[in-house]
């Protein structure tokens, strides 16, 4: 046995040397490792914030992520029910907590812009002019408040992955189709779990590539998608909102169809719109109408239209106007403390419209 070991020792030594050489080569080929990656990662984490707001019931998480995009404390995040409260709070990487102002949103991109009440304090932020595009096969990092792990001064979670495709988003959440249909970065990391929406996708140089999207399933495969909306798709719109102008979505989607859906076409009558934020309660249902067939009832509170939050009668009218009348509408209503999803079919030529004494859509 001793002679065999001595005989094979040179071969074993050469194999060991080769294995070490290959390991060192593999490590040197990675975008960054060890001590060289740590400063870059920490720099990125300081630009990602944790957002806390509405939720906490029926498996609706009350937290998500956001990206700082200006020295004035502007934050880009996902437009969701989490923001549907006056008590939204943002916690930074170092544990500082700020109240925020809701600046504006882009309903097509499903993104919102918040602004921290900084006072004299300073923050790190991503410069949108330094953002970069990504290509399939490129190594990336997804940075977010995944699963709400970073509750205080803990750094945001980091996931490493690769851009597997750049493709149009064809996705849904339950019965609701995603508003955005433009191209996204599809990644092979589980980057779109609860809490990740609004986080950052960056390259190994720390440059911002996109914002992580919501939890959605592919319309083609039914599998959960892990994706980010490229900066090029939303930078112009976000900059317009930050400047106090209306969102100018660069998605190229038309919000006003040739035949928009109206309350009358669905057979819906809302309560009188007396205030700027009159809650969108259903006041009446036209018999034998699409709304009646869908099972809508008086006193239902419409909280979502096609996945878009609606807090007033005006919001419902505006959201319906972005839906082609021939497509029908997907609503979510609050009824007896329960959230009920309702699909209102497209009206037919024989469907009755609102009664003659019903208020016009414009008055709603």
Name 344's Cβ contacts closer than 8 Å, sequence gap at least 6: 266, 290, 291, 293, 294, 296, 328, 329, 330, 331
CA–CA dist 360, 308 (Å, integer):
23
Which one of 83, 116, 149 terminates a domain? 116
Q: What is the pLDDT of residue 58?
A: 65
Q: Is residue 39 part of a domain?
A: no
Q: How confident is the model at residue 215 (pLDDT cuts 50, 70, 90)?
A: confident
Calculate ∠ Cα 165-167-170, nearest 5°. 125
Q: How confident is the model at residue 326 (pLDDT cuts 50, 70, 90)?
A: confident
Which one of 116, 142, 174 terminates a domain? 116
Q: How many CB atoms lie within 10 A of CB 213?
A: 28
Are residues 137 and 185 both part of a single domain? Answer: yes
SS3 annotation, 227-271? EEEEHHHHHHHHHHHHCCCCCCCCCCCCCCCCCECCHHHHCEEEC
Q: Is residue 18 part of a domain?
A: no
Q: Rounded to the nearest 10 degrees, how much is the dihedral formed by the CA atoms of 261, 266, 269, 272?
A: 0
Percent of the chain with pLDDT over 90: 50
Residues of 310-349 as b/e, b for ≥16 C-beta within 10 angstroms? bebbbbbbebbebbebeebbbbbbbeeeeeeebebebbee
Q: Single out the residue of 198, 347, 208 nearest to residue 266, CA to CA.
A: 347
Q: Would you say residue 349 has pLDDT above 90?
A: no
Q: Would you say residue 23 has pLDDT above 80?
A: no
Q: Which of 171-175, 285-289, 292-296 has the lowest mean pLDDT?
A: 171-175
Which one of 207, 242, 277 terminates a domain? 242
Q: Which of 215-219, 304-308, 336-340 has the lowest mean pLDDT?
A: 215-219
Are residues 351 and 280 both part of a single domain? Answer: yes
Q: Is residue 210 part of a domain?
A: yes
Q: Is residue 91 part of a domain?
A: yes
User: Domain limits at 189?
Assistant: 128-242
Q: List C-alpha distances in Å: 52 to 90, 100, 214, 262, 263.
A: 6, 11, 16, 34, 34
Are residues 107 and 192 both part of a single domain? Answer: no
Are residues 105 and 149 both part of a single domain? Answer: no
Q: Is residue 4 part of a domain?
A: no
Q: What is the pLDDT of residue 281?
A: 94
Q: Is residue 26 part of a domain?
A: no
Are residues 221 and 271 both part of a single domain? Answer: no
Are residues 202 and 179 both part of a single domain? Answer: yes
Are residues 62 and 133 both part of a single domain? Answer: no
Q: Is residue 13 part of a domain?
A: no
Are residues 103 and 138 both part of a single domain? Answer: no
Are residues 287 and 235 both part of a single domain? Answer: no
Are residues 222 and 296 both part of a single domain? Answer: no
Instruction: With beta carbons less than 8 A apart as the criterion, state whether 143 and 44 touch.
Output: yes
CA 261 to chain centroid, in Å, comes to 25
Total domains in the chain come to 3
CA–CA dist 132, 322 (Å, integer):
31
Reading the block at residue 305, the tokens are: 């239209």
Q: List C-alpha distances in Å: 262 to 198, 266, 295, 328, 364.
A: 32, 7, 18, 10, 10
pTM, rounded to two decimals: 0.62
Percent of the chain with pLDDT over 70: 79
CATH code, domain with 60: 2.40.10.10
Instruction: With beta carbons less than 8 A apart as the criterion, state whether 307 and 321 touch.
Output: no
Reading the block at residue 155, the tokens are: 């750094």
Q: 157-168 and 183-187 as β-strands: parallel, antiparallel, unpaired? A: antiparallel
Name 86's Cβ contacts closer than 8 Å, sequence gap at least 6: none
CA–CA dist 166, 178 (Å, integer):
17
CA–CA dist 57, 136 (Å, integer):
38
CA–CA dist 337, 42 (Å, integer):
43
Calculate ∠ Cα 298-302-305, nearest 5°. 135
Q: Would you say residue 59 has pLDDT above 80?
A: no
Between 289 and 4, the higher pLDDT residue = 289
Q: Single out the residue of 213, 215, 208 nearest to residue 231, CA to CA.
A: 208
CATH code, domain with 289: 2.30.42.10
Are residues 232 and 196 both part of a single domain? Answer: yes
Q: Would you say residue 277 has pLDDT above 80?
A: no
The alpha carbons of the chain give a radius of gyration, in whole angstroms, of 25
Q: Would you say residue 45 has pLDDT above 70?
A: yes
Q: Single out the residue of 342, 353, 359 nearest to residue 287, CA to CA.
A: 353
Q: Is residue 28 part of a domain?
A: no
Are residues 237 and 277 both part of a single domain? Answer: no
């Amino acid at each position: 046995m001793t002679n065999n070991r001595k005989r094979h020792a040179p071969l074993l030594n050469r194999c060991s040397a080769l294995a070490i050489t290959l390991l060192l080569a593999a490590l040197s080929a990675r975008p960054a490792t060890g001590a060289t990656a740590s400063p870059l990662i920490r720099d990125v984490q300081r630009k990602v914030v944790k957002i806390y707001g509405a939720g906490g019931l029926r498996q609706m998480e009350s937290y998500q992520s956001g990206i700082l995009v200006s020295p004035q404390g502007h934050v880009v995040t996902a437009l969701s029910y989490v923001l549907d409260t006056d008590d939204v709070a943002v916690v930074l990487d170092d544990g500082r907590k700020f109240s925020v102002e809701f600046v504006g949103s882009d309903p097509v991109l499903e993104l919102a812009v918040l602004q921290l009440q900084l006072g004299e304090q300073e923050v790190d932020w991503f410069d949108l002019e330094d953002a970069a595009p990504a290509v399939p096969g490129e190594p990336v990092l997804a940075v977010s408040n995944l699963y709400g792990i970073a509750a205080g001064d803990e750094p945001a979670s980091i996931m490493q992955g690769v851009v597997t495709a750049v493709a149009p988003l064809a996705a849904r959440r339950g019965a609701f189709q995603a508003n955005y249909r433009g191209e996204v970065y599809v990644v092979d990391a589980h980057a779109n779990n609860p809490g990740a929406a609004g986080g950052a996708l960056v390259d190994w140089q720390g440059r911002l590539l996109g914002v992580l999207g919501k939890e959605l399933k592919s319309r083609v495969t039914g599998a959960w998608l892990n994706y980010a909306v490229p900066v090029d798709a939303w930078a112009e719109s976000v900059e317009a909102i930050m400047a106090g102008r209306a969102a100018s979505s660069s998605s190229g989607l038309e919000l006003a169809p040739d035949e928009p859906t109206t309350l009358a076409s669905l057979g819906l009558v809302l309560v009188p719109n007396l205030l700027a934020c009159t809650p969108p309660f259903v006041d009446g249902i036209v018999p034998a109408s699409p709304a009646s067939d869908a099972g809508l009832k008086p006193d239902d509170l419409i909280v979502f239209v096609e996945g878009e939050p609606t807090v007033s009668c005006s919001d419902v009218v505006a959201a319906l106007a972005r839906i082609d009348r021939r497509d029908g509408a997907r609503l979510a209503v609050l009824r007896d403390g329960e959230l009920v999803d309702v699909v209102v079919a497209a009206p037919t030529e024989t469907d009755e419209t609102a009664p003659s004494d019903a208020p016009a859509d414009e008055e709603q």
